[in-house]
């Protein structure tokens, strides 16, 4: 069977058996959606973005393995801004603050993932026979020359550095640290803030879902407005949208199957798939409307598919070559983006050549209103 006969056979099958096509698409979609629960969201660090064999990253990993980790978190202890309007002296070098720093440092050192804690209280004890000073004046005298290291030059902040073990449970550690800071009584004039790469990573992971949802919704709304203006029809406007809806659904399902996680650099890929994939749906709908002027729905769809399959396949092949070329570079994150975009384009074409033709034929051949009347009327 040559290509022309194959295209004609497929076009006739879709035109004459649209319900079979719709059923197969729905079954495939259910399969993909069931896999999406296994989709992983994670933030990429430099080690994930770079290929194996980079000497700097190899040395970094060696240091991490040999010297109990290189990760650290920080807790910033600072005076409340409201204090500036009062007559109280703005100075972090007070007994109650130092004792508070010592207390939370001791609690944090008991956590499983913590190797050590460095703070102003450690510095003071090292200068005072392993004892904390009992007066503000003594603290100030001992900390002369430490401005810009354990305390800020304006004496308004101090920093606790939490040195971590390897392979920590970031979410559990963050929870424990927050609990320590919230439950430990502190002087009324200060505030504490957690920081560090692990904390930033957790915050970024929490924003993946909302950000992806927001960008996808705006993209979908914008595309809907455009196609409604083009076709001046709700039916023909919404139909091509199914292309990008199914394409995204299937792409994320396949990512879960191959265990490729979604990272921060991939949060906008869904919108990119929509922008590219909608063209496939528009081509089918536009050509079908043109063929409907002189043909029945079944004949119009057969003619439509015979005329759009080759151009759409060529476009898809060119796009796949371009996206797969992204994996030729050294940055692995570019390869991941190229992989997801390849899935999106491929599935956009698949949806445009299966579900969209089937639903168009069903919509033009069967009247939903008459069908419902027939059911209700008995």
Please state the domain count of the chain: 2
Query: How many residues does the structure list for the chain?
Result: 378
Domain assignment of residue 222, yes or no: no
CATH number of residue 79's parent domain: 3.30.70
CATH number of residue 248's parent domain: 1.20.1640.10
Domain assignment of residue 331, yes or no: yes
Place of tokens 């919404």: 238
Place of tokens 């026979």: 129
Domain assignment of residue 216, yes or no: no
Q: What is the mean pLDDT of residues 167-189?
A: 84
- Tell me the pLDDT of the chain averaged across its residues: 79
pLDDT value, residue 13? 86
288 and 321 in a single domain? The answer is yes
Say yes or no to pLDDT of 369 above 60.
Answer: no
242 and 363 in a single domain? The answer is yes
Looking at per-residue confidence, does 193 or 366 come out higher? Answer: 193
39 and 82 in a single domain? The answer is no
User: Which domain, by its residues, includes 15?
Assistant: 3-49+233-377
341 and 243 in a single domain? The answer is yes
Q: How far is CA 45 from CA 30, 39, 198, 329, in A?
A: 33, 19, 10, 18
pLDDT value, residue 140? 85
Domain assignment of residue 26, yes or no: yes
Domain assignment of residue 273, yes or no: yes
Say yes or no to pLDDT of 327 above 80.
Answer: no
Among the ranges given (84-88, 105-109, 197-201, 269-273), the one the predictor scored with the smallest mean pLDDT: 84-88
Q: How far is CA 66 from CA 61, 116, 190, in A?
A: 9, 16, 38
**Helix (H), strand (E) at residue 165:** none
Residue 122: CB partners within 8 Å, gap ≥ 6? Answer: 105
Q: What is the mean pLDDT of residues 307-318?
A: 89
The Cα–Cα gap between 290 and 268 comes to: 34
237 and 371 in a single domain? The answer is yes
pLDDT value, residue 372? 47
b/e burial code for range 8-33 (CB count within 10 A of at least 16 → b): eebbbebbeebeebbeebeebbeebe
The Cα–Cα gap between 318 and 342 comes to: 10
Domain assignment of residue 67, yes or no: no
Joined tokens for residue 378: 């008995």
Tens of pLDDT along 41-93? 765 555 555 555 555 445 445 444 444 445 788 888 888 875 444 555 568 88
Domain assignment of residue 266, yes or no: yes
Report which DSSP code applies to 134: S
The Cα–Cα gap between 170 and 172 comes to: 6
Say yes or no to pLDDT of 5 above 70.
Answer: yes
Among the ranges given (23-37, 190-204, 296-310), the one the predictor scored with the smallest mean pLDDT: 190-204
Tens of pLDDT along 95-149? 888 888 889 988 988 888 888 888 888 888 888 888 888 888 888 888 888 888 7
185 and 238 in a single domain? The answer is no
pLDDT value, residue 331? 65
């Amino acid at each position: 069977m040559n290509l022309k006969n194959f295209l004609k056979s497929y076009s006739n099958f879709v035109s004459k058996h649209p319900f079979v096509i719709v059923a197969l698409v729905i079954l495939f979609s259910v399969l993909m959606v069931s896999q999406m629960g296994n989709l992983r969201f994670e933030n990429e660090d430099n080690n994930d973005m770079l290929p194996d064999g980079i000497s700097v990253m190899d040395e970094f990993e060696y240091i991490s393995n040999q010297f109990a980790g290189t990760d650290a978190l920080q807790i910033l202890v600072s005076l409340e801004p409201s204090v500036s309007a009062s007559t109280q002296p703005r100075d972090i070098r007070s007994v109650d603050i130092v004792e508070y720093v010592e207390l939370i440092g001791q609690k944090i050192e008991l956590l499983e993932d913590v190797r050590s804690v460095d703070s102003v209280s450690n510095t003071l004890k090292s200068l005072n026979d392993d004892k904390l000073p009992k007066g503000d004046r003594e603290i100030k005298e001992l900390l002369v020359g430490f401005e810009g290291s354990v305390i800020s030059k304006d004496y308004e902040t101090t920093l606790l550095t939490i040195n971590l073990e390897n392979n920590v449970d970031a979410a559990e550690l963050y929870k424990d640290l927050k609990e320590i800071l919230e439950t430990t009584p502190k002087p009324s004039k200060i505030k504490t803030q957690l920081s560090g790469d692990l904390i930033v990573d957790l915050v970024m992971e929490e924003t993946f879902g909302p950000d992806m949802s927001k960008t996808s919704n705006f993209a979908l709304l914008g595309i809907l407005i455009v196609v409604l203006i083009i076709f001046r029809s709700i039916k023909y406007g919404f139909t091509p949208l199914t292309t990008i809806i199914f394409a995204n659904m299937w792409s994320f399902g396949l990512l879960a199957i191959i265990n490729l996680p979604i990272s921060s650099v991939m949060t906008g890929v869904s919108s990119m798939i929509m922008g590219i994939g909608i063209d496939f749906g528009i081509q089918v709908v536009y050509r079908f409307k043109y063929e409907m002027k002189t043909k029945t729905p079944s004949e119009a769809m057969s003619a439509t598919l015979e005329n759009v399959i080759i151009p759409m396949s060529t476009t898809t092949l060119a796009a796949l070559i371009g996206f797969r070329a992204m994996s030729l570079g050294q940055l692995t994150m570019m390869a991941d983006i190229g992989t997801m975009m390849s899935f999106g384009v491929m599935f956009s074409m698949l949806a445009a050549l299966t579900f969209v033709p089937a639903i168009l034929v069903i919509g033009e051949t069967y009247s939903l209103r008459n069908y419902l009347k027939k059911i209700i009327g008995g």
